[in-house]
Amino acid sequence: MNPGLDHDSRRELEQHALRNVSWLAAKLGYQDSLDKRRERTLMIAMGAAVAVIVAGFAVGAAISAREDEQDLARHRCEVDARVERTPAVLAQVQREHPDWTRAQLAELFEQRIRAVAANACAGAGAAR
C-alpha cells in the first residue's frame, strides 16, 4: 500500500475492494444458478424430444405391423381364391380358346386367375 495514506483511507480502500470481491462472488453465484437453470431446461427439452421420437417410432412400428397383417390376410385370401376357382377359370379359358397353345392358355389363365383372386379379396386386408 501507499505509505502516504492514512489508516482511514486504507481501511476505506480495503472495504471498497472487499465489496467489489463480494459483488463479483455474488455475480458468479448468480451466473452459476442461471447456468444450472439453463442446463436443467435443456435436459428437460432433450428428454421431451427423445420421448417424442421414441413415440414416433412406436407409432410407425404399429402402423407397419398393421399393414403387414393386412397384406398377409389379403395374400391368404388370394391363395384360397386361386385354389378354389382354378378349375372353373381353366375350363372357361380352354372353352373360349380351344385352338390356342398351352403357353397362350397358361398366360391368359394367369391373367384371369389373378384378376379373379384380386376381386374376391379386395377388402380382405381391411376387413380385419
DSSP line for 17-45: HHHHHHHHHHHHHHHHHHHHHHHHHHHHH
Report how many helices (DSSP H) and strands (DSSP E) the chain contains, helices first. 3, 0
Judge whether residue 126 has pLDDT over 70: no
Give the pLDDT score at 5: 65
Judge whether residue 23 has pLDDT over 60: yes
Give the pLDDT score at 107: 92
**Average model confidence (pLDDT) for the chain?**
85
Judge whether residue 127 has pLDDT over 70: no
Give the pLDDT score at 4: 59
What are the backbone angles phi and psi of residue 118, rounded to the nearest 5°? -65, -40
pTM (two decimals) = 0.45
The proportion of the chain whose per-residue pLDDT surpasses 70, expressed as a percent, equals 92
Cα distances (angstroms) measured from residue 21 to each of 5, 18, 30: 22, 5, 14
Top mean pLDDT of 2-6, 17-21, 87-91 is at 87-91
How many residues are listed for the chain in this entry?
128
DSSP code, position 100:
S
pLDDT, tens digit (0-9, with 9 covering 90-100), for 77-99: 989 988 899 999 989 999 999 99
Residue 114 to residue 112: CA distance in whole angstroms: 5
What are the backbone angles phi and psi of residue 5, rounded to the nearest 5°? -80, 140
Q: How confident is the model at residue 45 (pLDDT cuts 50, 70, 90)?
A: very high
